[in-house]
Structure 1
Amino acid sequence: MQARKKYIFLTFLASWLLLFFFGGDQLRRFAFFSKRKAEARRNWPHWTDRSLLKRFADPEELQSDGDPSLPSPRERRAARLSVYKNSRCRMETCFDFSRCEKHGFKVFTYPRERDQPLSESYGKILASIERSRYYTPRPEEACLFILSIDTLDRDHLSAQYVHNVDEKIRGFPLWNGGRNHLIFNLYSGTWPNYTEDLGFDIGQAILAKASFYTETFRPGFDISIPLFSKDHPQRGGEKGWLYQDSIPPKKKYLLVFKGKRYLTGIGSGTRNALHHIHNGKDIISLTTCKHGKDWEKHKDTRCDKDNVDYEKFDYQELLHNSTFCIVPRGRRLGSFRFLEALQAACIPVLLSDGWELPFAEAIDWGKAAVVGNEKLLLQIPSAVRCIHPERVLAFQQQTQFLWDAYFSSVDKIVHTTLEIIKDRLLPQRSRSRFLWNTLPGGLLALPDFSTHLGDFPFYYLQRGRTPPAPAEHGKLSACHNTYPLPHLFSGSSPSEKFTALIRAVSPVGSPSQPILRLIQAVSGSQYCAQILVLWSCEKPPLPSGKWPQTTVPLTIIQGRGKLSERFFPYAAIQTDAVLSLDEHTSLSTSEVDFAFVVWRSFPERIVGFPARSHFWDAEQRRWGYTSKWTNELSIVLTAAAFYHRYPAGERPAGWGAWPRPSLHLTLSPRYYHSLFTEYLPAGLRELVDSLATCEDILMNILVAAVTKLPPIKVTQRKQHKETVPQQVGCKDGDVGTPQSRERSPSPLHSPPAKVKGTAGAASVFSQRQDCLNQLADWFGYVPLVSSQLRLDPVLFKDQVSVLRKKYPHLEKP
């Protein structure tokens, strides 16, 4: 009996629980349970005075749960799993590190077939790789492989869609399931959902893709790249549009957008709502319905007015005159206007939920963009209004830096992609985010040189400070009336000594030769640590006892007859400063001392004596090179100049040395020397060696490309002989006589000097102009920066006592 009651009670209790679980929502409608009068669900109220209220959305929009044409989360997840079968790939599991151990980070591009279609953009990508220092024509040396099949446009409705990619790549013997391969893609999927489908199985390949969705992105393995057009320049690229800072950084418009809105389909939700924030004053948000072939079938009541307002403003004018630019998603997550806003110094306000931002592994976008939320569109105007002017100015400056460093050309986009992959191979020697996000940028800060910021010439400080704490400055949040400006990173001062490197191309026959007098003058400097003589002559140098007796070490280094060898990173150079000299240079000890003191204040620049300038010849439509005395200079010749060392590499075979005293000479990691030997491609150095009078121009261009600053000329010394150095050996009769020379013009109001070898001088200038134009073609632009500055000592030529002057000998003729 007791058991029967127990079973009846349990059955009754289970029935009540099921009733409340499945019918609870209906039970709440009864007054007995809800303690209020039962009522039916009402529709959205229709207010009688709604015409007087500002309408942000129609009632039908508020009751809608979303665009029914958009795929559900479950459908998106299923599509992702079908496309990315290796979604758990990481560098540790899907990349063969052993291929990179023997030959380093080398990249091989598959040979191209004649009948294989190739888009203009993909051709630029392949050309960037093949012109770079990473490229190798031998697959057995390669660490990374690039397909010759165009995979940029994987929209099967596109004319550039390549069919049967799966069958083609399976026939490649190097494919190996995609391991150690890099695939580039700009467009994936097609109408109406634009999924991540590439139309082929990428296997274990790294995917460098535009419009990358965070759910399909494999962190630490894939790379998000920006969407760029086919007209994006191969190299060089245009400069940013922010020519000068305005304080406060206020422009005509606060927030702008001008673009197409999609009436239906994916991406239409955000763009259809942009008209709500338009006020016609400082916020301009213009959209047009004219998009696609059948836009008139889907036009709404707002289209006619929007189309009229759209034509009232010029897009380029809005970019130039606005502080913030809205960058909403399109059909895909990325859009061209992202790079357009960066170039225009118009701070991007990103409205693209789920977008993995380009190069986010290295770039801190919180310092250059405002990351918004598509669902919080109406909060954007108030959020950007309360950003402090100091922070706005910092945002604008950072957009210009990022544009110039990583996005202004296809070369920089491709090289940034490769450098990020290279950093993953040796994480302990990878660049810090500080190097990626500050001048001169990650591409020019070689981790092989150093990972300590104080070793670079850009971060020298007289007083060290604590580094900035990482902060996400760009997240859309509440107003902040103060903006913590980034502190200067702790550093140190450059060394107080220098190493003199003299390039000798003529045999020494008498004690009165210029090189011997030069050694005596340089060794007399209180800042000189040692003197290195780069012997580029087949005849042996003088015996150890016949060189001048100096108070500093003197070492002879055997050269190989190449002009570029003067910028090799010799391990004997242990000082930060290098004084580069030619054998015929004439300097006094006072000039050397003063130039070095100036260099210590500008360690990132070239500081020296002989100055030259470049100009654009409009008639011949080419760059010109001149030594005329003008009010500007852009080149300081390395025949007598200080610059910062920048070491890396290994000692080439066949190098020898006659040390005095004995020194073990090898090549080890140094800065501008490292950039010259490691950053510049081998083909560019070979070009310099073939042109005979080009290495100093290349060094000036390299330093200007890094610093964006001109060199510094010191003192009034103007005359200098430019020679064509010998590359093979020294013949009898060449003692003290260069093959050809040119002399700087005589001072104004003085009789013209009779210069021998006029034809030789013209030949030198012709070669140097050819050099400048070939380097301009290689870089895509001329990085040289002109200056009207010359530094002289205080009290220079003032009518005061000589005893009060620190460098009185500089005034002697």
Structure 2
Amino acid sequence: MSSVHIDIADDAAAAATDGFYSPAKQKAANRRPTVLTIQRARQTLCAAKVKLILAVLTFSFIIYVSSKLSSFMGWNPHYPSFVSSPSRGGYTVLINSWKQSSVLKQSVAHYASCRSVERIHVSWSGSEPPSEKLIARLNEIVVLKSEGAQKTDFIFEVISGDQLASRFRPKSYPNTDAIFSVDDNVIVPCPSLDFAFSVWQTAPLSMVGFVPRTHSVNKEQNNVAYYIYEGWWSVWWTGTYTMVLSKAAFFHRKYLDFYAHMSPSIQNYVANERSCEDIAMSLLVANVTGAPPVWVKGKIYEIGASSIGSLRGRSRLRNKCLNDLISHFGIMPLVPTNFKAVSAKNEWLW
């Protein structure tokens, strides 16, 4: 009688080899996708952890650099004694007006509607005094536009003579620390104006404004530095500026006193040379602080007709003003910068 030997292991191996059904083979095949899924999940989780750590480190680095940059840009909370508080309440809008009644009405109506404006002060320059009817109408406009909000004070100052520099003479009444100097034909939207005010509160020693300008140096004239006043296109091309014009800028009220106490030679020069008073203010603030101004990004609008002469003639005049004033100051105090304050509320792309 012959015996039959059945080798189960060999048969299972053969089945596995030959493609026949095997429970063990099927179980291993079912388990393999699950193992791969777990491994992939672990890899994804590790990658997410690495990204999170990198994001935290990047954010911390940005905060650190920002704090250092703020200090470098002069945004220092330890001010000199004459600025004991960043601002008392809101700000005063100091409007420089030049014989444009209709434009002045629009300007006053707009700034009276801005919520942080506590006072509107109009400096009327020109040989002809304004009519009583105009002043009464402006008072009505201020009351109407500020109705329901905090009452806005209104002051109308008539400046004798035809001197634009008189816009910066000291004001005898108690006013806010923050002064927003603006030409009567310049309109800054209220949200942009309030943002600029918040920027100024962090740097009340600086001029904070919407119209940047710069200068360049030409040393080819008798080996003496000759400075060129540069307009907006130079700022746009280089990304650098050294001034913000007082046609739309915040500064501390104390600079009105400082302006009045500049040397007689500077005051006489500014009084005799038209369109030099804003350059003189920029030089004064830079000379006091040793720091650059702050340019705030924001749209401004000009209304009415411009009284500025030809661009070529104005350019020569500005060059002359800049160089003559630097000679009177004895130094070049302007500091270049490429910093720009931008409201994050208006920027969707970081």
Q: Give TM-score, length-normalised by structure 2.
A: 0.67
Which residue number in structure 1 is paired with residue 145 of structure 2?
A: 550
Which residue number in structure 2 is paired with residue 578 of structure 1?
A: 179
Please, which of 240, 256, 270 is the counterpart of residue 688 of structure 1? 270
Please, which of 608, 615, 635 is the counterpart of residue 243 of structure 2? 635
Amino acid at match of 2:145: T
Matches for 1:61-76 after TM superposition, within 5 Å: none
Matches for 1:542-691 after TM superposition, within 5 Å: 542-547=133-138, 548=141, 549-551=144-146, 552-560=152-160, 561-620=162-221, 621-627=225-231, 628=233, 629=236, 630-645=238-253, 671-678=254-261, 680-691=262-273
**2:96, 2:320 → 1: CA distance?**
23
Amino acid at match of 2:87: P
Label 1:633 to 1:799 Cα distance change in 2 as closer, same or farther (>3 A).
Answer: closer
Matches for 1:157-306 after TM superposition, within 5 Å: none
After TM superposition, give the deviation of residue 720 of structure 1 in Å.
Answer: 6.9
Q: Do residues 780 (structure 1) and 311 (structure 2) align?
A: no
Please, which of 296, 305, 319 is the counterpart of residue 737 of structure 1? 305
Q: Do residues 709 (structure 1) and 310 (structure 2) align?
A: no
Q: Do residues 535 (structure 1) and 124 (structure 2) align?
A: yes
Write the deviation string for residues 521-550 of structure 1: whole angstroms up to 9, x where unpaired.
222222111101111121424434422233
Which residue number in structure 1 is paired with residue 73 of structure 2?
A: none
Which residue number in structure 2 is paired with residue 253 of structure 1?
A: none
Does the 8 Å contact 1:635/1:784 carry over to 2? yes
Amino acid at match of 2:229: Y
Write the deviation string for residues 605-632 of structure 1: whole angstroms up to 9, x where unpaired.
0001011001102344410011122310
**1:521, 1:505 → 2: CA distance?**
18
SS in 2 for 1:692: coil
**1:603, 1:740 → 2: CA distance?**
30
**2:246, 2:265 → 1: CA distance?**
22
**2:194, 2:91 → 1: CA distance?**
10
The unaligned stretches of length 5 or more in structure 2 are: 1-77, 147-151
Write the deviation string for residues 537-567 of structure 1: whole angstroms up to 9, x where unpaired.
2142443442223321222101122222111
Amino acid at match of 1:676: Y
After TM superposition, give the deviation of residue 761 of structure 1 in Å.
Answer: 1.3
Does the 8 Å contact 2:212/2:244 carry over to 1? yes
Write the deviation string for residues 556-581 of structure 1: whole angstroms up to 9, x where unpaired.
10112222211111123511011101
SS in 1 for 2:145: coil
**2:295, 2:241 → 1: CA distance?**
8
Which has the bigger relative contact order, CA under 8 A and spacing at least 6? 2
After TM superposition, give the deviation of residue 713 of structure 1 in Å.
Answer: 0.7
**1:496, 1:582 → 2: CA distance?**
23
Q: How many residues align?
A: 254
Q: Give TM-score, length-normalised by structure 1.
A: 0.30
Which residue number in structure 2 is paired with residue 750 of structure 1?
A: none
**1:690, 1:631 → 2: CA distance?**
33
**1:739, 1:718 → 2: CA distance?**
18
Does the 8 Å contact 1:518/1:587 carry over to 2? no
Label 1:619 to 1:711 Cα distance change in 2 as closer, same or farther (>3 A).
Answer: same
SS in 2 for 1:543: helix
User: What fraction of aligned residue pairs are identical, expressed as a percent?
Assistant: 28
**2:319, 2:300 → 1: CA distance?**
20
Label 1:493 to 1:518 Cα distance change in 2 as closer, same or farther (>3 A).
Answer: same
Amino acid at match of 1:638: S
Q: Do residues 792 (structure 1) and 342 (structure 2) align?
A: yes
**1:539, 1:545 → 2: CA distance?**
14
Which residue number in structure 2 is paired with residue 729 of structure 1?
A: none
Label 1:516 to 1:714 Cα distance change in 2 as closer, same or farther (>3 A).
Answer: same
Label 1:539 to 1:558 Cα distance change in 2 as closer, same or farther (>3 A).
Answer: closer
Which structure: greater strand fraction? 2
The Cα RMSD (Å) is 2.3
**2:117, 2:301 → 1: CA distance?**
24
Label 1:522 to 1:782 Cα distance change in 2 as closer, same or farther (>3 A).
Answer: same
Question: Which 4+ runs in 1 deviate beyond 3 A?
Answer: 541-545, 618-621, 716-721, 736-739
Which residue number in structure 1 is paired with residue 94 of structure 2?
A: 501
After TM superposition, give the deviation of residue 799 of structure 1 in Å.
Answer: 5.8
Does the 8 Å contact 1:610/1:717 carry over to 2? no
**1:555, 1:718 → 2: CA distance?**
24
Write the deviation string for residues 91-116 of structure 1: whole angstroms up to 9, x where unpaired.
xxxxxxxxxxxxxxxxxxxxxxxxxx
Matches for 1:291-690 after TM superposition, within 5 Å: 453=81, 456-457=82-83, 460=84, 492-508=85-101, 510=102, 513=103, 515-537=104-126, 538-541=128-131, 542-547=133-138, 548=141, 549-551=144-146, 552-560=152-160, 561-620=162-221, 621-627=225-231, 628=233, 629=236, 630-645=238-253, 671-678=254-261, 680-690=262-272
Amino acid at match of 1:672: Y
**1:569, 1:737 → 2: CA distance?**
29
**1:644, 1:563 → 2: CA distance?**
19
SS in 2 for 1:496: coil
